[in-house]
Amino acid sequence: MTPPDGTDVGALDQAAARRLLTLWNDQQSAYVAHHDLRFEAMLDVVRLHSPEDLTLLDLACGPGAISDRVLAEFPRATAVAVDYDPILLRVARGALERYEPRAEVHDVDLVADGWEKALAGRSVDAVLTSTALHWLAPEQLLRVYTTVARMLPLGGVLLNADHLRYDESTPTLRDIARRHDAQVQQETFAAGALTYSAWYAEAARHPELAELVVQREQRFADRPPQALASLDFHLAALRTAGFAEVGTVWQYLDDYVVFARR
């Protein structure tokens, strides 16, 4: 819940960052039904397929939600988290501080050529991402998938959790999913979760994060929302990128966890 107006908000220490991470998870549960279940599916794949001391690449990490879960679940794991949003990066650094030295956070623009150089050649065992890559245009998404395929060893996996909307070929399912989204949002917001924009407003109450608002606006000024790519496009792009096995490991209506093995 958001504290009352006028509440003094101190420096963004670890406790404050983790509070914002909790608020983020609550906010995301309004936009993604059964939010925790899809993370459980991702962790099950990692547990059953990857080494216990895996190195995770948390792609477009936001405030560190995936890294937080993986590092808590796997005490020998290391997480390399990357994002381009300066506010989310600062929150992630604070929220993941408890796991140091097993966690590191990097400022990375997935649209830029050579973004993987920020990892300084580090090998990774798994790449996980959630509700993020829909911001990329189809050609950008293919380039990211191709880069990730080159980074992973044989047998390494990518898991992408996101809404992959039904198209005009399934109008009934598309309508059901749309109405279900509206119902979940109404119920979750009524229970006290913040909206997406309200979360950023809450974050900006911290002076350190408020100073990053203009930088965030400048970074994304020329990046309008993209048309959502279909499940079929994601699977085809992953095959084109060089993955040997692709499919889905979880679905609830039009929300999926897409799987790819190198």
Mind listing the pLDDT tens digit for each residue in 86-143? 999 999 999 999 999 999 999 999 999 999 999 988 899 999 999 999 999 999 999 9
Q: What does the pLDDT average to over 207-211?
A: 96
Please state, in angstroms and as integers, the Cα–Cα distance from residue 216 to each residue in 58, 65, 228, following that order.
20, 20, 23
Helix count and strand count (H, E) for the chain: 10, 7
Average of per-residue pLDDT across 223-252: 93
Other beta carbons within 10 angstroms of residue 211's beta carbon come to 13
Residue 2: the pLDDT is: 42
pLDDT at 10: 63
What's the chain's average pLDDT?
94
3-state secondary structure of 21: helix
* Other beta carbons within 10 Å of 254: 22
- CA–CA dist 106, 118 (Å, integer): 7
Cβ–Cβ < 8 Å for 145, 59: no
Sign of the C-alpha dihedral computed for residues 143, 147, 150 and 155 taken in this order:
negative
Which domains does the chain possess? 14-261 (3.40.50.150)
Pairing of strands 255-261, 78-83: unpaired
Peptide bond into 86 cis (omega under 30): no
pLDDT tens digits, one per residue of 56-87: 999 999 999 999 999 999 999 999 999 999 99
Q: How confident is the model at residue 205 (pLDDT cuts 50, 70, 90)?
A: very high
CA distance 14 to 20: 10
DSSP state letter for 11 = -
The residue length of the chain stands at 262
Q: How far apart are CA 239 and CA 192, in angstroms?
A: 42
Of the pLDDT bands very low, low, confident and very high (cuts 50, 70, 90), residue 1 is very low
